[in-house]
Structure 1
Amino acid sequence: MDDKTRIIELLQPYLNNGSLYIVDVQVVGRRGGRIKVTILLDSDAGITIDECADISRQLGNQMDELNFFGESAFILEVSSPGVDYPLLFPRQYIRNIGRNLLITLTDGTLRSGKLESVDDAGVVILIEPEKKSKSKKKKEENLAAQAPIVGATSIPFEQIKKANVEISFK
């Protein structure tokens, strides 16, 4: 069993019966150098710094007692994924309903819009029409450009390669 799988097993008792969930576990530096373990946790209501610190303290002590990495020193970081981390699970999308997303589809196409709804199959985003100058409109008409997608657009999860919340300071 690899380090990541063992850490995920050790984390289970700290997940409050599923109210917290694991977004990512990374172990780097195993071959020489200091080992760094990064654990990203989240919940439907968000996770606090105090919850992260508590889990880090308890898990770190447990890993020390188990001599998890032998005699090698390690750094343990437990935090939330942060707003710049891609959305990976449907529960993360639900928490972000009403926010703007930038979605990269599996074919490389980009879609940007306000997240309207989420279900088991995918998401619906509201794509606003792009504001264009008269000269740009005229140029596109001359090129017979394909009409851009606007309005409520359904995107199945299997077509989403990456989705990030767009930060807005308006």
Structure 2
Amino acid sequence: MDDKTRVTEWLQPYLNDGQIYIVDVQVVGRQGGRIKVTILLDSDTGITIEECASISRQLGGQMDEQNFFGESPFVLEISSPGVDFPLTFTRQYVRNIGRQLTVTLLDGTLRKGRLESVADDHIVLDIEPEKMSKTKKKKEALTAAEAPTGPTPIHFEQIKKANVDVSFK
């Protein structure tokens, strides 16, 4: 069993019966040297610094007691994904209904719009027509005509990456 799988297993008791979920686990470094374990956690209502610190203390203590990496020193970092981290779970999409997203499709196409709804197999993005300058309008008139506008379903299997657009308005 690899380190990432072991860390994921050891985390389970601290996740409040699934209220908190794992977004990402990374274990980098090498045996015999310094190892860095980075864990990103989230919940449907967000996760607090206090929750991350509590889980870090408990898991870190258990890893120390059980000699998780043998004699190799390690650093354990637990935090929330942050606004720049791509959405990866349906639960994250649900929490962001009403927010602006930039979605990159597998074919490289970008779709920008407000997230209207989330289903088991797709999201609905309300795509606004792109505002273009006069020269860009002439140049891209053909491709713009092909781009969808309005409420547009996008299946999860078509999504390469989806990020929430941060607005300071």
TM-score using structure 2 length: 0.94
Contact kept, 8 Å, 2:124 with 2:154, in 1: the verdict is yes
Q: Structure 1: which 4+ aligned runs deviate by more than 4 Å?
A: 138-141
The residue correspondences of 1:109-128 to structure 2 (distance < 5 A) are 109-128=109-128
Aligned to 2:162: 163
Aligned to 1:71: 71
Contact kept, 8 Å, 2:39 with 2:78, in 1: the verdict is yes
The residue correspondences of 1:127-166 to structure 2 (distance < 5 A) are 127-141=127-141, 144-147=142-145, 148-166=147-165
- Aligned-partner Cα distance in 2 for 1:78–1:71: 22
Structure 1 unpaired stretches of 5+:
none
TM-aligned CA distance change 1:139 to 1:4, over 3 Å:
closer
Residue 130 of structure 1 aligns to a residue in which SS? Answer: coil
Structure 2 unpaired stretches of 5+:
none
What RMSD in Å do the two structures reach over aligned CA positions? Answer: 1.4
| Alignment coverage as a number of residue pairs | 168
TM-aligned CA distance change 1:106 to 1:136, over 3 Å:
closer
Of 132-141 and 8-17, more deviation after overlay is shown by 132-141
The residue correspondences of 1:24-43 to structure 2 (distance < 5 A) are 24-31=24-31, 33-43=33-43
AA at the equivalent of 2:125 = I
Aligned to 1:19: 19
Aligned to 1:82: 82
TM-aligned CA distance change 1:66 to 1:129, over 3 Å:
same
- Aligned-partner Cα distance in 1 for 2:19–2:161: 24
